[in-house]
Amino acid sequence: MYSRLNLPLVAALGGALLLSGCANQLSQRSEHEERVERKLLAHSLQIDVGEPKVLELPQRRVRILEQKTFDVTEFEVSRHYDRYTPYQAWRKLYEIPLGAVAVVAGVGANVANILTFGNVPDSATKGWFDYGFAGLNPFINVESHGRSQQNLANIDEQQVERRTEYTSLPWSERNVTVKAGGHSYELSTDNKGMLRLNLLDSPFADQAGISKVGTLQISVSDPQDGTQAEASLAVSRALRGKLVEAHGLIYDDLEGSGVAEWVHRVKRLAELGLEEEASELEQSLIELTRNDPELQLEFIQSLQKDAGRLAADPGAND
């Protein structure tokens, strides 16, 4: 009577086991990689206004550097994964008959291995047995790398190296604030971290009273962490005395004036010690007269005769 009552229960448990089954464990898989941690220890900005510290000419290139110190730690990381073939009950419909065939084949392979003195490969003598018994087992599937799944088992992390690293890079294409008197300007460095200042160029040339400014205050700031740097560049009294006249020589309207006036302006800029500005004005006037060869030639000849300057059209050979 007891046995009869438990037969349905035994059958139900067996069916549940058959449907749930167990995962077939595969060999563990590992991944290896390197990881680098960089911790910022120090951050500073450096403004190099160049020499001399007093501005004697209207143009100056200011170099700005960003310097950082890092604590760098390198790790070797290994991740280990447990791999398995998930159980699917319907696969036993073909795995059981194939498993029986594989067991028979395994027996034959082992017999052949004895007769050939161990020359049959393990993939036949052992592999067929492994496949066969897994196939005959109703609670696991045969190993399948194609549909295998994995879970992260553990992570091993080992420190390889620790060092201090220093960097010094240009403050490239970043904002710079320049204060001149009561005015403040937002300028920008080039891709080499150089800031080009020119008191005879915009925005300073448009500032009323620029000739009275005795000091330029230059400052930079990194908005990410608030790192700041400041520097000052004095403007000499001699240069301040030249700025108003030089501004007129460069920017006053040339329309209606003749070659003699052009030569005078170039010559006067050179006499003021502003050779770079004189050369720029000279080349601008040569470019302006390119479509009038006779006027251009007259200007070049007058430059040589009245100002002692040798000039040529830079585009003449194009």
The listed range with the strongest mean pLDDT (83-92, 120-129, 193-202, 257-266) is 193-202
Task: Indicate whether 14 pLDDT > 50.
Answer: no
Phi/psi for 284 (5° steps) reads -65, -40
Please give the span between the terminal C-alpha atoms of the chain, in angstroms, as a whole number: 115
Mean local confidence (pLDDT), 181-185:
91
Task: Indicate whether 147 pLDDT > 50.
Answer: yes
Tokens matching residue 125: 């003598």
Asked if 160 contacts 169 with a C-beta cutoff of 8 angstroms, the reply is no
- pTM of the entire predicted model: 0.67
Kindly report the average pLDDT of the chain as a whole number: 86
Task: Indicate whether 5 pLDDT > 50.
Answer: no
**Per-residue model confidence (pLDDT) at position 70:** 97
If one counts every other C-beta atom within 10 angstroms of the C-beta of residue 255, the result is 4
**Per-residue model confidence (pLDDT) at position 316:** 57
